[in-house]
Amino acid sequence: MKLSQLLTSTLREAPADAEIVSHKLMLRAGMIRQLAAGIYTWLPLGFRVLKKVETIIGEEMNSVGAQEILMPAVQPAELWHESKRWEHYGPELLRINDRHEREFCFGPTHEEVITDLVRREIRSYKQLPVNFYQIQTKFRDEIRPRFGIMRSREFLMKDAYSFHLSDESLQETYQQMHKTYSKIFTRLGLQFRAVIADSGNIGGNKSHEFHVLAESGEDQIVFSENGEYAANLEQAEALVSQESRPEPSKKIKTFDTPNQKTIEEISKFLNIN
């Protein structure tokens, strides 16, 4: 396409509500435009970048045998009632009714849908392990969307789900995905750390988050200089200092302190300031 035919709608100044550099530059460069709070239209330049990111993700996931699918954005409430997350997910879950007053939600995540799919379609243990992924629109009704597309209400997410016969198989895929995500972020040219994180209600006993190092971030992480340890602040572990106390400057003596019940009374009794 010729540049003269491309929609390049730039701005001289960023809107006042744009707080961080990335949000300001994406608006000024004509990559995105806000439609409503936390909801954005991707313009041609921004959409091209988005598709390139999707391509890198797809290439790396496909290279390790993951299968791409596409699940519905709108999900029936029955699945969420079955997992008991309909009541517990909170106001971030956008609940809707169709014309027949049947309950649905606009999916913030797809654990319920993929589990229902696998229990219907996987007929034999010989089909395991399997690893499915998708790149799909999600919606979470954030109370305060900010930072442009970094904390929006509607967003595009790549999510993957694997199913196994044994814990050993699960751990093998977990490590494989860890390496795959590292390759993706490296190809994108990002400085990042994979940190130990809270698994949440359904995350199992092991979880890592990939954090891009940036001054505009809200999360705090700690990591060793040699790169062997990294964790978010809530999960970080540290050794207590074993430094010995200094020797007393004077010889310790014992005193009788009759009827002195508090530190203040003892201080006055011994004439200690």
Domain with CATH 3.30.930.10 in the chain: 3-190
Q: Which fold has domain 3-190?
A: BirA Bifunctional Protein; domain 2 (3.30.930)
Q: Report pLDDT for 10.
A: 85
Read off the amino acid at residue 121.
E
Task: Report pLDDT digits (tens) over 127-167.
Answer: 999 999 999 999 999 998 988 998 899 999 999 999 999 99
Task: Report pLDDT digits (tens) over 193-233.
Answer: 888 877 666 666 778 888 888 877 777 777 766 666 667 66
Q: Report pLDDT for 226.
A: 62
Distance CA 32, CA 25 (A): 10
Write out the two tokens for 34. Answer: 């806000």
Cis ω before 76 (30° cut-off from 0): no
